[in-house]
Structure 1
Amino acid sequence: MLNIGCHLSAAKGYMNMGKEAKSIDANTFQFFTRNPRGGKAKAIDEQDVKSFLEFMKENNFSQILAHAPYTLNACSNKEETREFALNTMADDLRRMEYTPNQLYNFHPGSHVGQGVEIGIDFIVKQLNTVLTPDMTTTVLLETMAGKGTEIGRSFEELKEILDGVKLDNKMGVCMDTCHIYDGGYDIVNDLDGVLDEFDRIIGLDRLKAIHMNDSKNPFASHKDRHEKIGEGSIGFDTMVKIINHPKLQGIPILLETPNELDGYKKEIQMLRKSYTM
């Protein structure tokens, strides 16, 4: 089954997102846990969540993906920024337990000149503080394009973080197609080679979600500018190869392309028609 969806607004609650997803032939979706630029999260409506969980079962939804705010930087050189990241993630993970066994994704962060090793150490310390044995959520590190001082620009950097996490069974990776292509992994000409490298360094069993985005910029540009499917430098043919790759079946695919709901619907229809597995 092709598990595919897009980014939806959480402002009106879980059931609204579920109904919007179904209306565009999606069976998963992504949402921000709170304002993407930070701030206090909206109170959980327990009845809304209960109705949504029933809706998920009735409509054969796959896991959904919650995305941490962009302002979360676990490896900042400022203590107050790291404290905000710690408190925000801890709160998010508590809230995630209202919808058990789902996915929570975050950008590893930027070390802002401190160096990769110091940055990774801060990230690992945060994860070792917020992860608990009884949590059901899987926390995902997102692959990054490598702009500025971003951490997560290589599979090796992600592996170093994963190796430092004590409860590593609670961890996984979200692979962003725009990010890894901009970061220098040639999924257009050597998708099998990139997946083999990921498997060798991290392990494909760690790959829990895919952000499917075309790129406005050329290969290895380290820019991170998303484009609509088939309208960028990655191209539609590569997306078709990804959704039909035998090693990637069942993994939730989330579109983060510059679209409104009707645009997402068109992209989902295009991809579903091209799915042959």
Structure 2
Amino acid sequence: MLHIGCHLSSSKGFEAMGKTALSIGADTFQFFTRNPRGSRAKEIDPQDAQRLRELLAEHGFAPVIAHAPYTLNPASADPKTREFALQTLADDLERMEYLPGNLYNFHPGSHVGQGEEAGIRLIIQTLNEILTPGLHTTVLLETMAGKGSEIGRSFDELKRILDGVKLNGQTGVCLDTCHVHDAGYSLAALDGTLNEFDKQIGLQHLKAVHLNDSLNPRGAHKDRHAPIGAGEIGTDTFARLINHPALKQLPFCLETPNDLAGYAREIKLLRQLYRE
């Protein structure tokens, strides 16, 4: 079964997101834990969270994905910036306990001139502080396009982070198709790219996929999302991707530039391309 969804607004609460997902044919979704460009987080209503848990169970949803704010940078040279990232990540994971058994995705960070080794060391340090044995959420590192000093542009960089995490059974990777394409990996040669991922990280650590076409040629390191089939990756590659035996049971989440009607059309298209 294809588990497919999109990014939804959390402004009306948890249950509303679940109902919106159902209305467009989705059985998973992604949402920001708080303002994606800031630090404010809406207070959680435990009853609203319970209603969403019941709805997800009733309709057989795949795990849903919470996304950290873009402003976090645990790899920063500035101690205050790192502390902000640590406190926000820790708070988000505490809030995610209202939705146990789901996923929390974040951009690893940028080393801002310190070098990747220093940045990776700082990301590991943050993860080792926020991960605890009682956590019921899997924390995902997102593959990155490689803009500027971004960390996570290669499978090797992600591997080095995961290898340094003490509780790495609570971690995984979210593969973003636009990002890996822009980083230089070939999705047209999907088997080769997945073999490289498996060699470097292990496919057992791949927990979710962001489905985004790219406006840029492969290796551009620019990160410009496009609707499915409207970019350089192309519909045929997405059809192979969602049907690949190593991927087809994962939650797929659209982050394409779309409104709800556009997401509904893309979800319908991808379901038509999926082979049981």
TM-score scaled by length of structure 2: 0.99
State the Cα distance separating 1:40 from its structure 2 match. 1.9
Aligned-partner residue type, residue 33 of structure 2: T
Matches within 5 A, 1:71-110: 71-110=71-110
Q: Which residue identity does 1:169 align to in structure 2?
A: G
The 5 A counterparts of 1:32-47 are 32-47=32-47
What code does the residue aligned with 2:171 have? Answer: M
Task: Give the aligned partner of residue 201 of structure 1.
Answer: 200
CA-CA distance at 1:249 after TM superposition = 2.0
CA RMSD of aligned residues (A): 0.5
3-state secondary structure, aligned to 2:246? helix
Q: Deviations over 1:55-114 (max 9, x none)?
A: 011111110000000001000111111010000000000000000010000000000000
Q: Provide the residue aligned with 1:192 in structure 2.
A: 191
Q: Which amino acid aligns with 1:196?
A: N
Identity of aligned pairs, percent? 62
Which position in structure 1 is the counterpart of 2:234?
Answer: 235
SS of structure 2 residue aligned to 1:194: helix
Match of 1:267 in 2: 266
User: Does the alignment pair 1:182 with 2:182?
Assistant: yes
User: Structure 1 CA distance, aligned partners of 2:263 and 2:40?
Assistant: 28
**Paired residue for 2:61?**
61
Following TM superposition, where does structure 1 have runs of at least 4 consecutive aligned residues deviating by more than 2 angstroms?
Answer: none
Deviations 1:190-225 (A, max 9, x none): 100000000011000000000000001111100000
Q: Secondary structure at the match of 1:97?
A: helix
Partners of 1:149 and 1:13 in 2: how far apart? 35
Q: What is the number of equivalent residue pairs in this alignment?
A: 276
Q: Secondary structure of the residue that 2:169 maps to in structure 1?
A: helix
Structure 1 residue 24 displacement after superposition:
0.4
Structure 2 unaligned runs (5+)?
none
Distance 1:186 1:274 in 2: 20
- Counterpart position of 2:246: 247
Distance in 1 (CA, whole Å) between partners of 2:192 and 2:169 is 26
Instruction: Give the distance between the partners of 2:88 and 2:232, measured in 1 at CA.
Output: 35
Q: Which residue of 2 aligns with 1:147?
A: 147
TM-score (norm 1): 0.99
Please give the residue correspondences for 1:17-56 in structure 2 after superposition, counting only pairs within 5 Å. 17-56=17-56
In structure 2, C-alpha distance between the alignment counterparts of 1:50 and 1:157, rounded to whole Å: 37
5 Å-filtered alignment, 1:150-165, equals 150-165=150-165
Residue 220 of structure 2 corresponds to: 221
- Structure 1 match to 2:3: 3
Q: Name 2:113's counterpart in structure 1.
A: 113
